[in-house]
Each structure stands twice: as C-alpha cells, then as structure tokens.
Chains A and B, each alone.
Chain A
Amino acid sequence: MTGLKDYFFSLFERLAEDLQSSEDLLGNFLGERSDFVRFNAGRVRQAGEVQQYELALNLVSDQRSARTMTHVSGVIEADWEHCRRLLTALRAQIGSIPEDSHLLINREVQNSDSIGGIDLEPAEHAIEGILKDTSRFDSAGFYASGPIYRGFANSFGQRNWYVRASFNLEWSCFLENHKAVKSRYAGFRWEPREFEKRTRRIEQTLAFLRRPVQAIPPGRYRVFLAPAAVAELMATLSWLAFGAKNQRTRQSSLARLALGLETLNPAVSVIENNQAGLAPGFTRTGFIKPARIDLIRQGKHAGMLVNSRSAREYGLAVNADSEFPGSLEMGTGTLDDGDILKSLNHGLYIDNLWYTNYSDPNQCRITGMTRYACFQVEHGQITAPITPMRFDESLYRMLGSNLIAITRDREWILSGDTYLRRSVSSMRLPGLLIDDFNLTL
C-alpha cells in the first residue's frame, strides 16, 4: 500500500520539477487490484484479476488547462519518460487554446491520508464458500474484491491519499420462468456467518416464489419499495436532479422543487453524506468536500452539488467532485420492519426495481420495471409472486402526496458498478410505503 503511494507522489514530484514559472500541475491517481469471479449455474464463467493504475495530469497555465489520462505500470522508471512526454504535449496544447473562464482549482493546501479495510482476505477464501453454497441453487452472480486507491497531488504541495480494500458479492437464485431473488453482501471482511444468514433469507424468499404466479392488471397499487428498489429510483434521480449545472440551466428533474413550485412530504430529507460514505474526501481539483450537504430538507429543496467548474460559473462554493451524489443518504421514518406487511395490508411488496429512466424530466416522472422477488400482499400476508410490471410515476407523487411511511431502518448499499473501474459510491436508504403507484404494462 505504501509502495503505490510513494510511487504516485514521487512520480508527480519528478514531473513537477519540469514546470515553467506560469504553470501549475494537478495529478490524480486511480488504481485497483481487483479479483473478479463470475459464476452461473454452479460453474465459473470467468475468473481473474485486473491490475490497473491510472494517472491523470492536468496542466494549468494563464487560466487555461489541458489534461491527459493514462494507464501506467506502477514502476517509476518505466513510466517517467512516458508521462513526461504527455506533459510536454499538454504544454503544446495549452498554447493554442483560449482562456477558460470556468476554470477553478484549489490553491489552499490541505493534506489527508485515509486507509481502510486493509485486512481483506484473498478472494479464493471467499470463493470456495460462495461456489459451494450457491451451487445448491440455480444461481448466477459476481464477486469483486481487492484494494482501490485514489490520490491527489498538486504543485502547491497538497497531497491526498485514499485506500479502501473491500469485497462486493451480488448473486441471484432462480426458479422456473425467471422467478428469482437477488442478494448482496459487501464489506471489508468476509464473514462466513453473514453470508450464511443471507443464504437462509434466500431460501425463505424462494419458498414464497414457489407459489403460483399472480398476473396483475395495470392500475394504481399501494406498494412497499424495499431499499434496493429505492436505490434504483435514487440512481436515476441522481443522474439529473442534484447538480448545480443542471439546476441553474433548468435541466434538473427536480427543477420545480428547486424553484419552490413543488414540495415533497415533510418526512423526506436527502443528504450527500461524505463523512459516512465510501468515496474519497477530496476532489480531482484538490478541494476537500464538506462532511455533509443537505439536498432536500423536510420535503423542500435545500442545496445542490457544486463541482469546481460550476462554482466558478455560478459563483458558488465547491462541495463536490462530480455533480452526481456518491454517498446519498435518505432520512429515516417511523415504520418498523416488522410492521411493513401489516401496513401494506393489500398491495404489492417490491424488492427491486430495474432499468428506470425518465419518461418526463419536467415532471420528474420515472418509468421502470419490477424485478426479482415482488409479491402480492393481502390482509398483511404475502400471497403470490407477481409477473414483472412496468411503472410510470412522478417522484413528486411518490415522495409527496402518495408517500405513506418511511422505514425506521436503512440499508447501506455499496455500489457494485465496475464500468472502467470499481465504484466507491454508496447509498444509505430506507424502504418506502407508497399509495396509488401507477403500473402501466
């Protein structure tokens, strides 16, 4: 772990030695050593390791900037000349571009060092148990584990370093006709008992899924959205809703909330909780994120995520790296887990939503599908699994007039995304009891 930190900071310092008097240099390091195991039907589909280190260099001069992102080997002697050539190319580019009035970088040095979860066991220890247990079912899944590194350095002397070693297992167990239950187990130390607990829960859910499927007609239903289903909604909301640029250019799906034309249920509060999330506390331009940012407070607009470009453009303070939440958290309510079915009484228990997208961003209307273990509930009892259904509903209604209750407990959902690199995003979310939820197909 120390090796990569030394590598990054030493390489950066050597590169910074070449800077001319008008130039500043920013460096970002993104690395991972990840074990990936994909399995299906009791056998391994693909298994292996990805070791990748990326270096981003951002050369700034006279209110102009150009950046380059490159994979590096992690060995200074092998990477030094290559990076130096890239820096020279940036210098040549910068001379030919106009001033960038939205450019803003941090010049106030704030160092940090954050290391966590470094006693993660090798993947093969977990894999043996996973393959043994999951082969009892018709299952498919994916296990990812290993350390993730992030670093920042600038020519003003700021140094930030971040390491998290974690694992993330997501797997689905199937019956006939695609009936399935999905489970997740993520953390920093593999505990066989925790995994077994989830396996037992899968068995209980499969018992309900073995009942004959109930086809339900489109219409309005009282529903309970489990935290994983809420996470799917929040992921789509996060895409457009909370960023300063989208709010100021009226592209935010919560523009009407931001303008005070709509309000949500006063029980709804949403924050970006940097302190409790997994993501690094620094931005790619060197700013340190605040501990928390209120986005929605008691049903009303409270704030937005501001990256360095928006900060400059709109005269705001930087509080985020990107303008999409990375550590979203929704406030709790009063509904106890043990009372969910009783409170739902007649309706649908929705474990997961899937493939959500905006059907009308102006109305914050979102469409998507039910997926995995979703059930009809009558008289407070699960009666039958339901066929996958499409919904199309405004979030202003879901979290506004139609919101009945929010659970007292929340689930911490670590993102399993691995596009380009393993994600460090997470969400902490409750379940939601909602009336008149619109199913359309």
Chain B
Amino acid sequence: MTDSIIPLFRSLLPRVDFCSLRIVERSGQNLCVRQNIVEPIGNHFSRGGHITVLNQGGTGYAATSDLSRSGLKAALDRAVRWAELTSGRSHPQATMQGIPSEPQSYRSKTRLEWSSRTTAEKLDFLIEINRDLNIHERIVDWWAALYFKQMDVLVVTAENEIHQHFDLITPYLGAVANNGRETQKRTFGSASSAQGGLEQLERTGFKNRAALTAEQALALLDAPDCPSGTADLLLMPNQMILQIHESIGHPLELDRILGDERNYAGSSFVTPDMFGHYRYGSDLLNITFDPSVEHEVAGYRFDDEGDAGQRVYLIRNGILERALGGASSQKRAGLPGVAASRACDWNRPAIDRMANINLEPGTSTFDGMVASVEHGILMETNRSWSIDDCRNKFQFGCEAGWRILDGEIRGLIKNPNYRGVSATFWRSLKAVGNPDTFEVLGVATCGKGEPNQAIHVGHASPACLFERVDIFGSPG
C-alpha cells in the first residue's frame, strides 16, 4: 500500500510552505468469552490518510478514507483551503526538520504472532479461563477477552519518510461477586496493554490470574471496609501507573500548560517557570520518558511529527526538569520537550501525549517496605479515578486493599480510597521499590484533545510507599 502512495502524494504536492501525509493502516480482532459463551468475534480494519498543510502562517488538515488519486487530491485541496482560511492567525507548528534523509523504520519485537494461533485456539483458551473464573454461585458475571491491534504508520513529506509497525495486545478478565446485599468486582489486565503478540500473555501471567481474581472478588464480599483516617499507603504497580498517569503525566503535557486543552481536558498546576528547579516530589522520585523500553505499549522511534524519541528524565531526584511536549509545543513554549506528538489514528491530528512515562526503580524490597509500616494500607488495581482540571486535587479508589499493622499484612479490606493534592502528594514518597517490584504496564485508552482522541500509553513502576495519606472506605 505505502509503496505506491509515496510517489502519488509527492506528485500532488501543492505549492505551500510545508505539507505532510500520515497514512495509518490498522487491523485487529476482539475476542471475548462471557459466562462461557463466545461473544460475536469483532474484526476491524481501517486505512486512511491525514494531510497537514502549513502556509503563510495558516494551518489546515484534511483526513480521508479515500486514498485514490482523486480522494487524495480532494483532501489536499481541503487542507490548503483551511490553511488559507487561518492564514496569519494560527499558532506555529513544527515542520519535521529533524528527520534523517534516508527512510526510517521501526517494528514491534513480536515473538509469537497473533496469527500463529487459530481463532478457535484463542477462543478455547478464553473458554478455559472462563471455567477458572466461575468458582462459586455468588460469582454472578465473569469474562475473559483478548484485544489485538496492528498498525502500520507511514509519515511522508516531500523529502522524507518514516515507516513504523506496531503490534498491540490487551488481555482482560474479570469476576463479579454478589451476596444479595452488595457487589464486588476484581479484574486483571486493563493495565496490561503491551507491545507484542501472544507471548505477552505468558509475560503477564494472564491465565494464572483467573482463579485468584474470582477468589478475591468473593472474599471482598465478607471483608471489612477500608478504615478512614491518615495512614501510610503502599501502592502496587497497577495502581502506581494510574497515580503517575493522572498526577505527573497529564500535568506535564505542554499543550495543557499552553492552554490548548483548557476547554476540555483541562490545564495544569505546572507553569513554564517551574522547569529546572520546582520540587515535584521527594528525592526518591525519578520519572523518565522512554519510548525504547521493550514491550512497553507506547514504544516507537519517531513520533507523528517526525521527531526521534529517546529516554530523558522529566523529574530527577524530585526536581522537575522537562515537559511532555512535541516539536510544535516546544516551538511555542520555548521549552525543551520530548518526541511525544501523537495521533490516535489517521482521522485525528497529532497532539502532545504521554507515550511511555516511567517511575524508575529504587532500592527498597517489598518486604522491607511492609516491615517499615506501623499503620497503613496496601492498595491494588484501580477502580475509580478523578482529578481536578489543573491535575491537583485527586481521589482514587482501588478494587482491593490490605491492612498493614506493625509491619505485617493483616487482611483484605474492601472499598479502599485515598485522596490528596498532586503538588504535595509526591513529596510524601517515602520508599521506592527495587527492580523486583517493578512492572512494565500500559493502558489502551487515555483520552484528551478536541476532536477527542483515545490512545495507548505505557507506564512502568515499582511498588511505592507514601506517608500520611488521607484514606477512607465507604461510609454506607
């Protein structure tokens, strides 16, 4: 597909300051077995192009699913027209200056292709997991699903081209328990989006989690409610990634800081003058942008504005260093950023995104962190998330929690929640888990932008301990 479109696009290039084309070809399959019944197989396929035109201080784009010569020409004309209409009154945008002259490429490191197992084999696997989930009459709903997507992305300008191929997989299972008075749910996998193929199921231990998930859903029905008050909080990686995402990732997005998002997803408590000296967290807090971590879901070589991605610190030893902004936002803000200008598909323009945002491991063992806690709560698997439009006042809840008393994990609790303020919460980071507690995770649907876009982002984190956090359960 891409071989023929490059010369076609270049033959149609209008006389403008800059013009690029991004072609996205996407295909995939959703498989779900719920209550032992195979739900309709969902296949999806998409191909389309996104043209960007910059001319005389104007900006225009046109996206089309008609990639014929006439379709592409019509889209180019519309993009040029929008650039004319906005001429002299647009924010500046980057023009992909940094792309090497020879063609560039990237490919997910997939060891076991999705197609290496038949649909029937994959469904049998999910049926088997369904059996592991249905362990008691109080389990009133259960399911296991696999979502797979592959994307070929071609970015082409008059002189340059970048080809990237991504394989993305998300496994998901869950069990719902009810005792006639209340309902509790445990799930696994929604934070396990990864780049790769079926080998990721083994890496994440997907199948083995089924029985434990159902057992915990049942146990939660009889568990006491999370106590209220101030306590130490030990967050496991699958909740840490939500904490990182909402109260570090989003506030550092440069388009929020520049105000582009303030009509929708919101702004940020971070201001441009904070970079280089603002104490974001305790000395233990080290956050990197790293699109090179193997299997982390938002890995790539180039973002959609043609910038090469590389590992950089956003926060080092607790001090804020760098924003999450692509070339266009960097140009407007006069601040260094990262290669994080991404679009979710061909039908949306690129905007500042998180990609892979990771909390670097520390030196504390899991047992050591537990042993250091006199009165605390361990929380796992996000259930509820809410934060203000400047990404400061947050309240998060988890599916399950455990009390920690006098250095020991004592018992399961239900409805665990905590709240805080981003600007001070990270300063209460008391211990960071070592690499043994570190997990590479990711989510498939981070939403922002106008028009709206949901995209996959990766997060990796060890377990982390925070001191004196406001925790609470459900008052009933």
Contacts and interface: CB of A to CB of B under 8 A. Distances in A.
Chains A and B come from one and the same complex:
yes
Interface of A: 34, 36, 38, 40-53, 58, 65-75, 78, 86, 89-90, 93, 96-98, 100-103, 124, 127, 131, 140-142, 144, 170-172, 174, 178, 180, 182, 245, 249-251, 255, 309, 354-363, 365, 367-369, 371, 388, 390, 392, 417-420, 422, 440-441
Contacts of B415: 360
A367 B384 contact: yes
Given A44-B58, A440-B395, 8 more contacts: A45-B91, A47-B61, A52-B65, A71-B65, A75-B66, A96-B120, A102-B39, A142-B263
Nearest to B392: A388
B474 A365 contact: yes
A355 B387 contact: yes
A47 B82 contact: yes
Contact of A44 (B59, B185, B384): B59
A287 B452 CA distance: 29
B66 A367 contact: no
B267 A170 contact: no
Given A171-B263, A357-B385, A48 B61 contact: yes
Contact of A251 (B82, B183, B451): B183
A418 B258 CA distance: 22
B156 interface: no
B78 interface: yes
A369 B183 contact: no
Given A70-B44, A96-B118, A43 B476 contact: no
Contacts of A141: 263
Given A178-B389, A358-B384, A51 B123 contact: no
A390 B395 contact: yes
A250 B66 CA distance: 45
Contacts of B118: 96
Contacts of B450: 36, 38, 142, 418
B167 to A, nearest CB: 19
B118 to A, nearest CB: 7
B251 to A, nearest CB: 13
Interface of B: 37-48, 58-68, 71, 75, 78-79, 82, 85-86, 89-91, 118-120, 123, 140-141, 176, 178, 182-183, 185, 258-264, 266-267, 347-349, 383-390, 393, 395, 397, 415, 417, 419, 421, 447, 450-454, 474, 476
Contacts of B390: 178, 388
A86 B234 CA distance: 49
B75 to A, nearest CB: 7
Nearest first, the 4 A-B pairs at minimum CB distance are A48-B61, A142-B450, A418-B451, A73-B66
B182 A362 contact: yes
Nearest to A255: B183
A363 B66 contact: no
A363 B476 contact: yes
A419 B183 contact: no
User: Main SS of chain A's interface residues?
Assistant: strand
A43 B37 contact: no
Contacts of B120: 96-97
A156 B140 CA distance: 36
A218 B402 CA distance: 28
Contacts of A73: 65-68, 71
Nearest to B92: A43
A127 B86 CA distance: 10
A43 B388 contact: no
Contact of A172 (B58, B67, B262): B262
A41 B259 contact: yes
A359 B397 CA distance: 7
A74 B349 contact: no
Nearest to B258: A40
A167 to B, nearest CB: 14
B89 A44 contact: yes
A249 B40 CA distance: 20
A140 B59 CA distance: 17
A100 B386 contact: no
B384 A66 contact: no
Nearest to B225: A360
Given A48-B349, A419-B447, A362 B389 contact: no
9 contacts: A36-B451, A44-B86, A50-B64, A51-B62, A72-B65, A73-B71, A100-B38, A359-B474, A368-B386
A359 B417 contact: yes
Contacts of A47: 59-61, 82, 85-86, 90
Nearest to A170: B263
A100 B40 contact: yes
Contact of B393 (A96, A124, A388): A388
B68 A369 contact: no
